Amino acid sequence: MRAFRSEWVKLSRRNTLIGFGGAMVGFSLLFTILAFVNVGGGDVDLEGGSAEEFVTAAVLSLPEGSVFAITNVAGFLGIIALALFASNLAGEFNKGTIRMLFVTEPNRLKVLAGKFAALASFVALGVAATLVVSVGAGALLAPGVGVETSAWWTPDGLAAIGSTYLNLTAAALVPALIAGTIAVLTRSASIAISVGAAWFILGEMLIGSFIDSLSVWGPAAITNALAVGGVGGAGMMGGAPPTIAYATAGLVALGYAVISMAICSTVFVKRDVTS
């Protein structure tokens, strides 16, 4: 708990709130505005088709229409979370502050657990803020573009908001944990962010064209499946819908989390601190 509070002293500073939290909220707000302003129009062309194929007033009027926009930026939220984890963890080694952390709290597992919990809570709060802003902006813009929002506030609509929150948070934490692990191993934020972002944005897709099974267990595929609720979801950014069941994606994500924590714990506890 002390490590958690200590970490939040850093996370609550203005630069972090604006840099990471602001980016999450800002980009989601931008995409929400674009989605609503261009509903039924032809200005947004995300997949080479017309906007009508991607977002329509009918889709946005569904109970889950309130979270349509934010669900489509789940990948972006994951990249921000990835950068947050990587820069925070690698930064401790680069700046040499890790030695002062370990002298102040010699139980290194507590330091690691507190750090991960604080970073994860930051991401969770960021997703919550993003969701509130996105849904709020959608509600304000809806009447002007012929979107009926009454279904949003029905039990089904509220359940969609709740499940989307959980899904987006889980989806953001998968790349974050993996990048955090790379950061702990390499002690380099730039390596962790570049490798992590490259994999999640493009790498897995390219490699997946040679290795079919990646679409079943690859971290980007898992993130996609978690974000949109598994098979039957639309696929982020209008991309390919996931082929993984939600429960399967959750289990695989849990496996990634366990492996990441095991690696980080081992490195934290066993590695000599010479920086």
96 binds other proteins (CB under 8 A): yes
Q: Specify whether the CB–CB gap between 83 and 57 falls below 8 A.
A: no
Question: In the set 39, 51, 111, 192, which binds other proteins (CB under 8 A)?
Answer: 111
104 binds other proteins (CB under 8 A): yes
Question: In the set 43, 106, 210, 212, which binds other proteins (CB under 8 A)?
Answer: 106
b/e code 158-183 from CB counts within 10 Å (16+ = b): eebbeebbebbbbbbbbbbbbbbbbb
State which residue, 8 or 217, has the beta carbon closest to other proteins. Answer: 8
State which residue, 64 or 92, has the beta carbon closest to other proteins. Answer: 92
Cα 190 off chain centre by: 19
Sites for other proteins among residues 11-70 (CB under 8 A): 13, 15
Q: How far is the CB of 103 from other proteins (least distance, A)?
A: 5
Q: Specify whether the CB–CB gap between 257 and 179 falls below 8 A.
A: no
Q: How far is the CB of 275 from other proteins (least distance, A)?
A: 8
100 binds other proteins (CB under 8 A): yes
b/e code 61-70 from CB counts within 10 Å (16+ = b): bbbbbbbbbb
Question: In the set 17, 125, 245, 273, which binds other proteins (CB under 8 A)?
Answer: 273
Question: In the set 48, 103, 150, 155, which binds other proteins (CB under 8 A)?
Answer: 103
Q: How far is the CB of 92 from other proteins (least distance, A)?
A: 9
What are the distances in angstroms from CA 51 to CA 37, 38, 59, 76?
11, 7, 12, 20
What's the CA gap between 192 and 57, in Å, rounded?
Answer: 40
266 binds other proteins (CB under 8 A): no
Nearest one of 109, 110, 126, 107 to 19, comparing CA atoms: 126
Q: Specify whether the CB–CB gap between 42 and 152 falls below 8 A.
A: no
Chain contacts with other proteins (rule: CB under 8 A): 2-3, 5-6, 9-10, 13, 15, 95-97, 99-107, 111, 114, 272-274
